[in-house]
Amino acid sequence: MVKAAIVGATGYTGEELIRILVRHPQVQIQHLIAHKSDHNCPVSKIFPWLEHILDMECSSNIDVEKISQTSDVIFLALPHRVSMGVAPDFLNRGKRVIDLSADYRLKNIDEYQKWYASEHKSKEFVPDSVYGLCELKRDAIKTAQLVANPGCYPTGAILACAPFLKKKLVDPEIIIDAKSGTSGAGRAASVALLFSEVNENFKAYKVGSHQHTPEIVQELGEVAGEAVQLTFVPHLVPMTRGILSTIYMNLRENISVFEAVDMARKFYLNEPFVRVRDADVFPEIQDVVNSNFCDIGIKVDQKRLIVIAAIDNLVKGAAGQAVQNCNIMFGLKETLGLLP
């Protein structure tokens, strides 16, 4: 039985981790720690759906020594810029850490400091961190001490593009048009996320300046073996969860949609959480919500390849992928706790 602690247990991602792990047959939650100091009570008082399921105390105190002595893995469901101040305490004690923030994803520290407007406080751990996109980094994840769980937008986008960049079928100039539900912004109060601001509205935001841009460029560049030029436009839609990404890539050679689908299916052969649809059949958010699947649809439009990917941003884009990483790290069946 793998013993786990969740630091940052009261945010949307923390709650989703709890939801998955309380039914996981091989992982036992040992500690729940809130990010905000106003939580110091049974977790069922914070999330009433947990009553008679998990009545564990949710503490506002990060007792590093106690947590380290009784936990095999630490999930850090903390905001960007906060994790890097917490992770070293556990890493220096030999604990395995899965960080759901962006603090260890970017290998170029200057890029991190530029896009996140913050000096990195524990940059010495960045070189050995493993980017936790399970389908592409499984072997490195198995032995990693620190896994940098991917961002929600990058997860769908990278999985959609990887088969075609790897085969050099498309130019490394990519346009990503992505739409996300409001939970992607976290649980903290914000005027922009008020019901009256979001309801019956639809808008682009952080056009050309979203912090996930360098993450996507970094990982797709590694897959392609060459620099990638990216145009990334995220949008906010009036729904709670889910991301639909429509991706445009220029083909280097003529190919039918059937050949493209076959290429993607071979690339993800035996991958339990990537589902490639038939030619000209496209996924919808409702197909993947509350699941760890990434569904992919493909269209060939003259000399352009259009790939559409759908994920649940809180599951495959965050907590579900973190549990998938945990399963890999501890030699468990990868789908444990993640299938209906």
Q: Return the active site residues.
A: 152
3-state secondary structure of 321: helix
Three-class DSSP labels, 213-281: HHHHHHHHHHHHCCCCEEEEEEEECCCCCCEEEEEEEEECCCCCHHHHHHHHHHHCCCCCCEEECCCCC
Task: Check: CB of residue 240 under 8 Å from CB of residue 144.
Answer: no
Residues in the chain, total: 340
Cα 4 to Cα 26: distance, rounded to the nearest angstrom: 10
C-alpha 259: how far from its chain's center? 29
* CA–CA separation, 31 and 67 (whole Å): 7
Instruction: Report how far apart, in Å, the C-alpha atoms of 226 and of each of 78, 151, 159, 195, 218 are.
Output: 32, 22, 17, 43, 10
